[in-house]
């Protein structure tokens, strides 16, 4: 069973994302978070973190979800997100932690409206503010 889909209109907070991702990992053996019958690049789960709005694509893998939660646990649930270049060279990918680590299989991207509006390396956590 896929992870419950979350719309852009009702995005999760990062703590809620962590809870739901853990429930999905513990309660299923699915390979990806989304429905395998949909376009895998579709936004499956939207998350808000202060003014930052991001989306997990449906093809985010179980292994990537596990690694994401391990990093979040290491940072006491306040995993920092920063803007990185995607494989297409766009400032839209989210890197994790202070080292802005890009996790294989974790398809986490900024909402299109924010692409290019935040500088590369701009770090966000639930407690940081975006510098102008």
Question: Model confidence over 4-30: pLDDT tens digits?
Answer: 999 999 999 999 999 999 999 999 999
The per-residue pLDDT for range 72-124, each reduced to its tens digit, is: 998 887 888 888 888 888 888 999 988 889 999 999 999 876 776 665 665 44
Cβ atoms of residues 47 and 60 within 8 Å: no
Closest CA to 99 of 66, 71, 62: 71
Burial class (CB in 10 A: 0-12, 13-18, 19+), 1: exposed
Whole-Å CA distances, 26 to 3, 5, 11, 17: 11, 17, 22, 14
């Amino acid at each position: 069973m896929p992870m419950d889909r979350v719309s852009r209109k009702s995005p999760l907070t990062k703590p809620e994302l962590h809870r739901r991702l853990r429930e999905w990992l513990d309660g299923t053996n699915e390979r990806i978070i989304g429905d395998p019958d949909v376009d895998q690049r579709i936004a499956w789960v939207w998350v808000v973190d202060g003014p930052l709005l991001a989306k997990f694509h449906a093809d985010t893998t179980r292994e990537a979800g596990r690694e994401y939660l391990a990093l979040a646990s290491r940072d006491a649930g306040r995993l920092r997100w920063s803007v990185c270049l995607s494989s297409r060279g766009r400032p839209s990918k989210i890197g994790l932690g202070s080292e802005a680590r890009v996790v294989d299989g974790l398809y986490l991207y900024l909402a299109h409206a924010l692409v290019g509006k935040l500088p590369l390396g701009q770090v966000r956590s639930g407690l940081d503010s975006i510098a102008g």
